[in-house]
Chain A
């Protein structure tokens, strides 16, 4: 029984099928990379897994239970958390408050009860992402790269069992990107299942255990990174697209 299963997920927007019959398993302590050209349905898949969208067809299972109808907050408490491709933290709140929210509401098992405790723990988490210095500042002062790191900190704070990471390396300096990848590897070692959407293919080769390639809403290849990246189907989908 996989930790998280997507079975035949389909999602249509009007006449357009963003995702068609996508089936996927995610296991603990593995990093699965999701690749595909823009518009191939990667973020839609994340939205379906994390609960922002309901599928037009298909189901999502979590630890064997069907959770297709569960709202996002319930899935968060169950252990699924994600970052958003367009970073949208709470701009008027301080970084600590941003992270503390997840600690207070999204982590029932070991979450903080009191605001003060949550804020302290938030400080620690922010430190792991190099944001401790700005912990007491409002989020709107952050640069794009820092915003994405904040998103990641927010997602990680709730100690999820499944972490969905949506293009977190964009806008990061090479050092920061290295640190983030190191962090993900560390999380994997702790047993977290990670699903990663990234365009920087070298990064993927470094950390991913498995790669799933999407094109026009369908899975066109799946397997070890080296194999998938060289597969004819994937090359065709990316033809004309400059890889990194």
Chain B
């Protein structure tokens, strides 16, 4: 499941990760059955998937060395677009979800134009600014977004009728599987990119944009693609969120938290690895909801802040990086 080979020699560690990944996938598919009839647990699962999706989309940019502090922009655009299209435009939630994701991808192209030739920290600051600008716009453009009150009554994805199938997977299984589908699509895209020339270009840009350009890589174009794809899935996550909660407002859709969380989750799990962000999302989100909130309600910032600092100082490649180092140590140098 590793995104880049270290020495090109296939190590047994990859096999370990692969087994774990496959196991995780099986659990994921069967989860609604496993947790039925608890609606709350299913909701947790769905939200974990949404955050995993967001974190994965973030890590695509991180591959290219683009650390985004403004992913809330994509998320919020997806949320609001899908809400508006389905609520005001009377479109089916499925259709509006797809259109909203496309719109977010288009914004990715805009972002590429605005910030495309900025390097490192400056790019990050630009993304921060963009996310905040959109939040302010959403807050004050009341004609479109109803401002701080938000949009209420957004149609949700169709529920399963009570009884029958619903007894097996719960009435809100559609939300869950929609999220799972989107996440699977994202991961598939990621792994395809990794094997294609594009993946190499992304890595190269991260390690030396000037050198990459001298080798023929059109950095602007590659960044455009990365931002569009990242935006597509992050927007999809936002749209899902809107339909699950059936409500959007600037604070929840464009909150700085939404820019913070994917960063933390992806880095914590290990943004280098295909499923690292998913792992990060599982640990941090579920950890927060199930454990932390009981102990220290409202203290989630401690958890997240601590996670970030831990990663930067001690786990540069996240949990999976640490696991890999452990495994490598145990089997001796490969």
Known: A90-B208, A115-B200. A158 touches B5 (CB 8 A): no
> In the bound complex, do residue B208 and residue A88 qualify as a contact, i.e. CB atoms below 8 Å apart?
yes
Which of these, B7, B203, B215, B219, contacts A106 with CB under 8 Å?
Answer: B215
Contact of A89 with B211 at beta-carbon distance under 8 Å, contacts A101-B201, A136-B7 already known: yes
Determine if B197 is an interface residue (Cβ-Cβ < 8 Å): yes
* B217: chain A residues within 8 A (beta carbon): 73, 101, 105-106
B8 contacts across to A, CB distance below 8 A: 94, 96, 136-137
Contacts of B196 in A (CB 8 A): 115
Say whether A92 contacts B203, CB under 8 Å. Answer: yes
Q: Is the interface of A mostly helix, strand, loop or mixed?
A: mixed
Q: Is the CB of B216 within 8 A of A77?
A: yes
Within 8 A of B (CB), among A63-93: 71-74, 76-77, 81-82, 84, 88-93
A73 pairs with B213, CB closer than 8 A: yes
Q: Is the CB of B7 within 8 A of A84?
A: no
A199, chain B: closest CB distance, angstroms: 22
> How far is it, in angstroms, between the C-alpha of A106 and the C-alpha of B217 when the chains are bound?
7
Residues facing A in B191-208 (CB within 8 A) are 195-197, 199-201, 203-204, 207-208
Q: Is B218 an interface residue (CB 8 A)?
A: yes
Q: Are B210 and A72 in contact (CB under 8 A)?
A: yes
Given the complex of chains A and B, what is the CA–CA distance between A102 and B214 in angstroms?
Answer: 8
Interface residue? A138 (CB, 8 A): yes
Do A136 and B9 touch across chains, with their CB atoms under 8 A apart?
Answer: yes
Minimal Cβ-Cβ distance residue in B for A157: B215
Whether A104 is near chain B, meaning CB under 8 Å from some CB there, is yes
Report B-chain residues with C-beta under 8 Å of the C-beta of A88: 208, 210-211
Closest 9 interchain pairs by CB? A106-B216, A136-B8, A105-B216, A76-B216, A72-B213, A102-B215, A104-B197, A90-B207, A105-B217
Residues of chain A touching chain B, judged by Cβ–Cβ distance below 8 Å, are 50-52, 71-74, 76-77, 81-82, 84, 88-94, 96-97, 100-102, 104-107, 113-115, 118, 136-138, 154, 158
